[in-house]
Amino acid sequence: MAGPSLRPHVHWAQRHRELYLRVELSDVQNPDIAITDNVLHFKARGHGAKGDNIYEFQIEFLEPVEPKPVCRVTQRQLNITVQKKESNWWERLTKQEKRPLFLAPDFDRWLDESDAEMELKEKEEEKINKMKIESRVPKDPFRHLKKGYLIMYNLVQFLGFSWIFVNMTVRLFILGKDSFYDTFHTISDMMYFCQTLALMEIMNSLIGLVRSPLIPAVVQIFGRNFILFVVLGSLEEMQSKPVVFFVFYFWSIIELFRYPYYMLSCIGIEWKPLTWLRYTTWIPLYPLGGLAEGVFVNFRHLYKQRKHHLGPKKRKMK
């Protein structure tokens, strides 16, 4: 003959629209919770006041409720949320006037009716204020077009620098150090394209299309373009130097992480590994790239001095 069923301690609280039940059972397994004919049926194995056992109880609610309770199990307890069919304040939880012994108020969440009405009023006011603020902000009719443009821009730049990186890496594996000396002649066209297109980043910042600060963008883009178009474009002797390989390689690695990060940000996606790479790889690469860029500038200065001092002598000898 089976003994009487074990009932767990249950604490309850309410709001105008919801009922909260906290079942004092830890390590709950296989909870069976259902509402039929306005009666909540609960059965589960867990650790309660009588140790590790099967506990069960039934609650017939005072007024109609929705038949689908929401259950959340934690290591220490089980929480059940039940929606009332009508928004009102109940004088008690159960249809029977005498409160069951296993049932007690949840003082951690308990509010009286006036406090609950105040809470409800504050939530409604907060919702109304939020709607007012949103209504004051004019909707941009071109936001989808702008987002599409930014996605395409970052995608094109990513593909361009990916081509540079892959091409240089493959040539390095095949040719070894010999690939250093003709980097400019094989890669310059794509680098010209990418760095010319990068001027759009300055325009994007100027017109407020992106939130990136203007000055750092100007310094980086014009600094690179000065090296690429002015120094390398005017000094053929420099084009075959190994330093060109390292500068182009460092630039491409940095952009391989920067442009995908911006592209995903346009659609509200953040991938943590990519975020880490985008804000970390520049730490070793920027100083190395800056050192290599400094070689260009110094070489150009020395070359000008050479022409200044040796050029007139050559003309006098003729």
**Region label for 176, one of left (φ > 0), alpha (ψ between -120 and 50) or beta (otherwise):** left
Contact 22, 11 (CB under 8 A): yes
- Residue ranges in the chain whose pLDDT is less than 70: 1-4, 116, 132-138, 282, 284-318
pLDDT at 313: 47
- Give the C-alpha separation, 78 to 8, whole Å: 11
Supply the pLDDT for residue 288: 58
What pTM value is reported for the model? Answer: 0.52
Q: What single letter denotes the amino acid at residue 272? A: K
Q: Is 279 a catalytic residue?
A: no
Structure tokens at 111: 């509010």
63 is catalytic: no
Q: Which of 63, 201, 293, 303 is catalytic?
A: 293
Catalytically annotated residue among 134, 201, 286, 303 = 286
Rounded Cα gap, residues 312 and 32, in angstroms: 98
- 10 contacts 33 by C-beta, under 8 angstroms: no
Nearest to 41 by CA among 17, 65, 18: 65
189 token code pair: 């066209």
Instruction: Report how far apart, in Å, the C-alpha atoms of 163 and of each of 146, 150, 193 are.
Output: 26, 20, 12
Q: In this predicted structure, what is the pLDDT of residue 173?
A: 94
Cα-flanking dihedrals φ and ψ of residue 188, to 5°? Answer: -60, -35
pLDDT for position 111: 79
pLDDT in tens, 88-139: 899 999 999 888 999 999 988 887 777 767 777 777 778 777 776 666 666 7
CA nearest to 201, candidates 216, 188, 186: 216
| Nearest by Cα to 80 from 72, 91, 92 | 72
Sheet bearing 26-36, strands edge to edge: 26-36, 39-48, 51-60
